[in-house]
Amino acid sequence: MTTDKAAPGKGGKRWRTLLAGLLLAVLLGSYPWVINRCAFYPERDNPWTGQRLPAGVQEVYLTTADGQRLHCYWLPQPAAERVVIYFHGNAGHIGHRLPELQHLTTMGCNVLGVSYRGYGLSSGRPTEAGIYADGQAALAHVTEQLHFPLDRVFVLGRSIGSTVAVALGQSHALGGVILVTPLTSGKEMARIHGFGLLSAFAGSRFDNTSKIGRLQAPLLVLHGTEDTITPYFMGRRIYEQAPSPKRFVTLEGGGHNDIGRPDDDAYWTPIADFMDWAQGRKTH
């Protein structure tokens, strides 16, 4: 599906691979399996092998309802009353996003970063249904084990992670949902990448558009104007079809993989402001 920082510049090629596979899948009658196979590009390496994790970062493992074991990073901030659950893109694993997790803690947040099943040190193989189950396990952990109320829980989904965030946001009255370079649907991704009638075989896969109208939480969407993987219009459409309250941030000149650096104030400041605003709404 989409890609982010772990594998810059490969998103278009991966989508061509995915959609070429669709033709074969149609002939074989197994296109759901092919889509899942081509949508995810996990890495199994552990970048911290033989090294100590940075101060303030803890490894935790969660167990999903279907028995998978998820490798996560927990960055506690004892004085903070809110928590952000971070859902990454389709390549690499959560270890590659550690700088982003650390930066989020500077905004007065506890942070849980989740490696989907089949990524990094997590068990299993990734599927669309599977990553949604992973999201549910992460939410259950912060609410049932760590005792954060739902209205203090924010979910941040980047790229394919936007589908996990939206799935949670349509089912739970969270503190807020933050979508970074979200896609509209797998079918539309197929169409815009040039696969014409074959796009119909993507069906309802990764369909944020059909779910966003049921969102139960405030929404923030951030999207770069030069995104060639999930084009800018996708973020705009998700935003326009979402119920209020909501905010949209245009990142002028931003692509799919080059936003969210630690010094990228145009990216981070709106996220911090959104969480303060959304949390303030709940207390007045």
Residue 23, token pair as written in the block: 């033709």
State the pTM of this model.
Answer: 0.87
Domain annotation covers residue 48: no
User: What domain range is 180 assigned to?
Assistant: 11-42+56-282
**Residue 172 domain-assigned?**
yes
Q: Is residue 194 part of a domain?
A: yes
Q: What is the CATH number of the domain that holds 23?
A: 3.40.50.1820
Amino acid letter for position 195: F
Task: Classify residue 1: in a domain, yes or no.
Answer: no
Domain contains 187: yes
Separation of alpha carbons 88 and 5, rounded Å:
9
As for how many domains the chain has, the answer is 1
Give the 3-state secondary structure of residue 117: coil
- Helix ranges (DSSP H) in 83-160: 98-105, 128-140
Question: Is residue 167 included in any domain, yes or no?
Answer: yes
Q: What is the pLDDT along the chain (284 residues), one digit of tens a residue?
A: 444 543 444 555 565 565 555 555 544 444 555 566 667 888 888 766 657 889 999 999 999 999 999 999 999 999 999 999 999 999 889 999 999 999 999 999 999 999 999 999 999 999 999 999 999 999 999 999 999 999 999 999 999 999 999 999 999 999 999 999 999 998 787 677 555 555 555 556 889 999 999 999 999 999 999 999 999 999 999 999 999 999 999 999 999 999 998 889 999 999 999 999 998 866 55
| DSSP string of 199-228, one letter each residue | GGGGTTTT-SHHHHTT--S-EEEEEETT-S
State the Cα–Cα distance between residues 51 and 46, nearest whole angstrom. 10
Residue 127 lies in a domain: yes
Is 49 a member of any domain? no
Query: Which residues partner with 70 through β-bridges?
Result: 62
Nearest Cα to 245, choosing from 272, 280, 211, 201? 280
Residue 91, strand partner residues: 41
